C-alpha cells in the first residue's frame, strides 16, 4: 500500500513538472513565471481619454468628443492594431488638423464670409450626384461611418474657405495662366482616334485541334451569312456570340482607341469605314470575329474655348492647397493655441 501511495505521489510530481497531458509544446516553468510581466511591458497602455477640451484656439475650446470621434474613425475604435509611436502621430495629426480648421473658421467669421443654406444645398446636391444611386450613397454613409450633417458641415467649411481665399486674392487665375496650362498639357486635351464597333465572337483556343477550329470558323461564317442576308446584327450576336460581355448588348463594344483591343482585331476595325463589315471572319487569340464598324472618330484636339473653364478650375484647386497652407501658417503665428492632449 505504501509503495502504491509512493508511486502515486511520484506520478503526480512528474505530471506537475511536465505541465499536463497531450502533445502541446509547453513553455519552461521559469519563462511562464515571468511571461505576464513581459507581456505587460511589451504592450503599450492606451492613452487615457480626457473629457472637456483637447485644445484652446484663441480662447475657443475644441471639444474632446469631436477629437475622439475622428480618431476612432481612423483607428476603427481601437480595433486596428497600430503601434504606439504611429498612433501618437495619428493623434497629433488629428489635433493639428482640427486646430487649423478652427483657425480658418475664426478668420472666415472675421472677414464676414457667409455660406447661405441655398448655396450649401446646391453644393450638397453636386456632392451627392457623384453616386449613381441613392443606395450607393446610403452605403457610403454606413461604411464611411458618417452622416449627412457631417458631410454638409465639411462642404460648408470648404465653401467658406474658397470664398475667403478668393476674397484675399489667393485663387486668381488669369487668361494667360489658362493658355500656358493648355499649351503645356495639350495631350490631355487631345481625343485619340476612335472607332465604334460591334462584333460576333465564336471562341476557339489558339492551340485547339483543327476540327474545333473548323467548327468555330463555320459557325462564324454562318453568323456572317445571316447578317449579310439582312438579319439584324444585334439579334445574330445574341444568338451566336460567345462574348459574354457584349452579346446581350447586341455585340456592341462602344468606342475604343488604339491599344485597347488585340492587334489583329484593332488593325481590321480601324481599317473599316462606318457601315462596313469584315468580308470574312477574323481570327485572333480569342477565336473568330465578325466585325462591323458603326462610327469612326478621327483624332481631335479640343479647342481652348471648350476646355478653358475646366483648366481654370483645375488651376484654382491647385492654388487652393498652397494658399490654404500659407494662410494657416500665418494664422498660427498670430494665434494663441494651447494643446491639452498629446
Instruction: Report the CATH number at residue 215.
Output: 3.10.50.40
Please indicate, yes or no, if residue 179 is contained in any of the structural domains: no
Instruction: Confirm if 304 and 179 have CB atoms less than 8 A apart.
Output: yes
What CATH number corresponds to the domain at position 149? 1.10.4030.10
Q: Where are the beta strands (DSSP E) in 123-241?
A: 190-191, 194-203
- Report the SS3 class of residue 59: coil
Q: For position 33, what pLDDT does the model report? A: 39
Residue 203 is given by DSSP the state E
Please indicate, yes or no, if residue 269 is contained in any of the structural domains: yes
38/66 same-domain check: no
Domain total of the chain: 3
87/124 same-domain check: yes
30/117 same-domain check: no
Q: For position 47, what pLDDT does the model report? A: 64
The residue segments making up the domain with residue 159 are 53-169+324-339
Q: For position 46, what pLDDT does the model report? A: 58
Please indicate, yes or no, if residue 180 is contained in any of the structural domains: no
Comparing CA positions, the residue from 60, 86, 56, 61 lying closest to residue 71 is 86
Q: For position 149, what pLDDT does the model report? A: 95
147/236 same-domain check: no
154/68 same-domain check: yes
138/226 same-domain check: no
Please indicate, yes or no, if residue 317 is contained in any of the structural domains: no
90/148 same-domain check: yes
Q: Phi, psi at residue 127, to the nearest 5°?
A: -65, -45
Q: For position 123, what pLDDT does the model report? A: 96
197/153 same-domain check: no
Q: For position 48, what pLDDT does the model report? A: 76
CA atoms within 13 A on the CB side of 329: 6
Cell triple for 32: 511562464
β-strand pairing of 194-203 with 53-57: unpaired
* Calpha distance 261→19 (Å, rounded): 67
203/282 same-domain check: yes
Running along the chain, 342 residues long, what does each successive block of 10 average in pLDDT?
39 39 39 41 59 94 93 82 90 95 96 96 96 95 91 95 94 95 95 97 96 97 97 97 95 97 97 97 97 97 96 93 95 95 80
Q: For position 341, what pLDDT does the model report? A: 87
165/213 same-domain check: no
Q: For position 45, what pLDDT does the model report? A: 52
147/250 same-domain check: no
Q: Where are the beta strands (DSSP E) in 258-299?
A: 282-284, 287-297
Amino acid at each position: 500500500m505504501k509503495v502504491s501511495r509512493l508511486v502515486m505521489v511520484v506520478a503526480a510530481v512528474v505530471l506537475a513538472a511536465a505541465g499536463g497531458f497531450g502533445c502541446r509544446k509547453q513553455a519552461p516553468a521559469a519563462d511562464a513565471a515571468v511571461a505576464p510581466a513581459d507581456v505587460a511591458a511589451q504592450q503599450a497602455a492606451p492613452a487615457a481619454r480626457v473629457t472637456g477640451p483637447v485644445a484652446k484656439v484663441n480662447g475657443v475650446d475644441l471639444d474632446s468628443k469631436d477629437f475622439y470621434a475622428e480618431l476612432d474613425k481612423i483607428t476603427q475604435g481601437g480595433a486596428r492594431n497600430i503601434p504606439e509611436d504611429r498612433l501618437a502621430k495619428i493623434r497629433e495629426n488629428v489635433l493639428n488638423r482640427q486646430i487649423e480648421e478652427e483657425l480658418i473658421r475664426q478668420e472666415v467669421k472675421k472677414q464676414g464670409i457667409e455660406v447661405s443654406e441655398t448655396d450649401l444645398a446646391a453644393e450638397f446636391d453636386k456632392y451627392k450626384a457623384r453616386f449613381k444611386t441613392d443606395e450607393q450613397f446610403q452605403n457610403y454613409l454606413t461604411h464611411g461611418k458618417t452622416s449627412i450633417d457631417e458631410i454638409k458641415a465639411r462642404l460648408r467649411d470648404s465653401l467658406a474657405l474658397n470664398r475667403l481665399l478668393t476674397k484675399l486674392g489667393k485663387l486668381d487665375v488669369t487668361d494667360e495662366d489658362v493658355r500656358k496650362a493648355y499649351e503645356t498639357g495639350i495631350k490631355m486635351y487631345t481625343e485619340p482616334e476612335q472607332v465604334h464597333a460591334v462584333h460576333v465572337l465564336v471562341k476557339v483556343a489558339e492551340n485547339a485541334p483543327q476540327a474545333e477550329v473548323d467548327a468555330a470558323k463555320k459557325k462564324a461564317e454562318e453568323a456572317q451569312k445571316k447578317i449579310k442576308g439582312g438579319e439584324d446584327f444585334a439579334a445574330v450576336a445574341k444568338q451566336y456570340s460567345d462574348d459574354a460581355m457584349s452579346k446581350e448588348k447586341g455585340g456592341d463594344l462602344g468606342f475604343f482607341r488604339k491599344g485597347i483591343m488585340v492587334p489583329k482585331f484593332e488593325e481590321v476595325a480601324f481599317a473599316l469605314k462606318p457601315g462596313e463589315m469584315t468580308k470574312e471572319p477574323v481570327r485572333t487569340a480569342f477565336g473568330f470575329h465578325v466585325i462591323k464598324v458603326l462610327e469612326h472618330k478621327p483624332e481631335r484636339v479640343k479647342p481652348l474655348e471648350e476646355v478653358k473653364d475646366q483648366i481654370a478650375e483645375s488651376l484654382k484647386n491647385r492654388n487652393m492647397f498652397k494658399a490654404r497652407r500659407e494662410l494657416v501658417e500665418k494664422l498660427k503665428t498670430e494665434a494663441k493655441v494651447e494643446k491639452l492632449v498629446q
